[in-house]
């Protein structure tokens, strides 16, 4: 799969199907759109391209910008679905185009023979046009547009906005149901103060990174991927109020990886969050903290019982 932001690398003479959208999280709605597009492209002998932006356009007007996936994570998900190329547009270069001008730009520069978008797609200056306008305008260039309906899960429309809210509220199981995979952080292990080791529960420390949507502070049952191996883990997201004296401590993800004694400093570990176990709190003593950690480990083992993780 080709990943590029350079228009010169796009051959306008190649026949393509373009999928348009922001694709933050690449959730179940996006996957449905992609799978149907790949099917159409194969049937018609077209290369299948995603046309998206370097920034999430729906978040540009909001003060707190957060994302469900980084571009690297997004590309990893895209690649699983047989796409030929992902093109990251510089939003500033097209944001002031009038709708018809944008359609002309797509037709003349990308060799599109067919376009696919979701029914909530908007485009043109100030998002002034919608998916039906796109379908109508692209007809002027002999390009057919397929508008895909929104996907619902248990009666609710699957959207990145809703998933971000669920992640922030600690409703991780529901968020994962909408994503179609567990929400995750994939980050290097950094040195901490080794409080966990002193308590008898060695942990790895990872800083929240990029503009990823922050999880609700608390303790989670998780799966930790190290190379090809998967382990159960208990992750605390927050500022560790029981053992951290500083009032402005950074938010970290501190994870006890069950039955793993490997030295992981400097390595990248993927943490997938499955269940919110409890809120982060300041305990009255270290013994009370230890008791709660032991209980969280038992809860995690019970939650993943029979799931087939390594080193259990």
CATH code for the domain of 18: 3.40.50.620
Chain segment 96-152, per-residue pLDDT in tens: 999 999 999 999 999 999 999 999 999 999 999 999 999 999 999 999 999 999 999
Question: Are 226 and 269 in a shared domain?
Answer: yes
pLDDT at residue 70, as a whole number? 86
Tokens 């968020």 label which residue? 175
Report the DSSP beta bridge partners of residue 89.
53
Question: Are 26 and 125 in a shared domain?
Answer: yes
pLDDT at residue 249 tops 80: no
User: Which has the higher per-residue pLDDT, 55 or 308?
Assistant: 55
Question: Are 14 and 117 in a shared domain?
Answer: yes
pLDDT at residue 63 tops 60: no
pLDDT at residue 250, as a whole number? 76
pLDDT at residue 312 tops 50: no
Q: Please give the residue range of the domain that contains residue 12.
A: 2-157
Out of 64-68, 141-145, 253-257, pick the least confident: 64-68
In angstroms, rounded to a whole number, what is the distance separating the alpha carbons of residues 271 and 267? 13
In angstroms, rounded to a whole number, what is the distance separating the alpha carbons of residues 25 and 72? 11
- Here the CATH number for the domain that contains residue 266 is 2.40.30.30
* Residue 163 within any structural domain of the chain: no
pLDDT at residue 15, as a whole number? 93
Question: Are 144 and 189 in a shared domain?
Answer: no
What contacts 43, CB < 8 A, 6 or more positions away? none
pLDDT at residue 103, as a whole number? 96
Alpha-carbon dihedral angle through residues 65, 68, 69, 75, given to the nearest 10 degrees: -120
Out of 2-11, 66-75, 200-209, 260-269, pick the least confident: 200-209
Question: Are 43 and 129 in a shared domain?
Answer: yes
* Residue 312 within any structural domain of the chain: no
Question: Are 27 and 129 in a shared domain?
Answer: yes
* Residue 206 within any structural domain of the chain: yes
DSSP state of 84: S
H/E segment holding residue 72: helix 71-79
pLDDT at residue 197, as a whole number? 67
In angstroms, rounded to a whole number, what is the distance separating the alpha carbons of residues 121 and 119? 6
In angstroms, rounded to a whole number, what is the distance separating the alpha carbons of residues 187 and 177? 23
In angstroms, rounded to a whole number, what is the distance separating the alpha carbons of residues 94 and 91? 6
* Residue 309 within any structural domain of the chain: no
Question: Are 124 and 215 in a shared domain?
Answer: no
pLDDT-based confidence at 38, cuts 50/70/90?
very high
pLDDT at residue 71 tops 90: no
pLDDT at residue 57 tops 80: no
* Residue 291 within any structural domain of the chain: yes
Question: Are 121 and 52 in a shared domain?
Answer: yes
Question: Are 123 and 237 in a shared domain?
Answer: no
Chain segment 79-95, per-residue pLDDT in tens: 999 999 999 999 889 99
Report the DSSP beta bridge partners of residue 237.
218, 253
H/E segment holding residue 87: strand 85-89
CA atoms within 13 A on the CB side of 14: 14
pLDDT-based confidence at 311, cuts 50/70/90?
very low
Question: Are 34 and 111 in a shared domain?
Answer: yes
Percent of the chain with pLDDT over 70: 88
Q: Which residue intervals of 123-159 are DSSP H helices?
A: 131-138
* Residue 93 within any structural domain of the chain: yes
Number of domains making up the chain: 2
Highest mean pLDDT out of 58-62, 171-175, 184-188, 243-247: 171-175
Question: Are 120 and 35 in a shared domain?
Answer: yes
pLDDT at residue 47 tops 70: yes
* Residue 308 within any structural domain of the chain: no
Tokens 């400097």 label which residue? 266
Q: What is the mean pLDDT of residues 35-46?
A: 96
Question: Are 152 and 204 in a shared domain?
Answer: no
What contacts 104, CB < 8 A, 6 or more positions away? 141
Do 166 and 175 meet the contact criterion of CB atoms below 8 Å apart?
A: yes
pLDDT at residue 252 tops 70: yes
* Residue 177 within any structural domain of the chain: no
Of 124, 157, 190, which residue is a domain's last? 157
Chain segment 186-225, per-residue pLDDT in tens: 989 988 766 666 667 888 988 866 678 889 999 999 999 9
pLDDT at residue 191, as a whole number? 80
In angstroms, rounded to a whole number, what is the distance separating the alpha carbons of residues 83 and 80? 8
């Amino acid at each position: 799969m080709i990943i590029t932001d350079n228009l010169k690398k796009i051959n306008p003479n190649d026949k393509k199907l373009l999928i348009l959208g922001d694709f933050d999280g690449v959730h179940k709605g996006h996957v449905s759109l992609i799978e149907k597009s790949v099917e159409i492209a194969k049937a018609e002998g077209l290369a299948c391209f995603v046309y998206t932006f370097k920034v999430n356009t729906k978040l540009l007007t909001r003060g707190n910008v957060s994302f469900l996936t980084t571009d690297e994570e997004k590309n990893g998900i895209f690649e699983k679905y047989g796409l030929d190329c992902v093109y990251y547009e510089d939003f500033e270069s097209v944001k002031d185009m009038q709708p018809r001008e944008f359609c002309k730009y797509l037709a003349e520069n990308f060799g599109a023979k067919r376009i696919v978008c979701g029914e909530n797609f908007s485009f043109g200056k100030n998002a002034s046009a919608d998916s039906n306008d796109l379908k109508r305008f692209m007809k002027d260039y002999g390009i057919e547009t397929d508008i895909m309906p929104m996907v619902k899960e248990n009666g609710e429309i699957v959207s990145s906005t809703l998933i971000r809210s669920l992640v922030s509220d600690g409703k991780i199981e529901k968020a994962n149901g909408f994503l179609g995979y567990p929400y995750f952080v994939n980050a290097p292990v950094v040195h901490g103060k080794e409080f966990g080791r002193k308590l008898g529960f060695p942990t790895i420390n990872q800083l929240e990174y990029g503009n990823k949507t922050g999880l609700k502070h608390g303790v989670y049952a998780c799966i930790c991927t190290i190379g090809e191996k998967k382990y159960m883990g208990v992750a605390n997201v927050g500022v560790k109020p029981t053992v951290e004296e500083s009032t402005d401590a950074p938010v970290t993800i501190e994870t006890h990886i069950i039955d793993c004694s490997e030295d992981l400093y400097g390595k990248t570990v993927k943490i997938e969050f499955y269940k919110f176990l409890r809120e982060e709190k300041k305990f009255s003593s270290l013994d009370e903290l230890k008791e709660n950690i032991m209980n969280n480990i038992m809860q995690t083992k019970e939650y993943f019982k029979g799931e087939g993780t390594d080193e259990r």
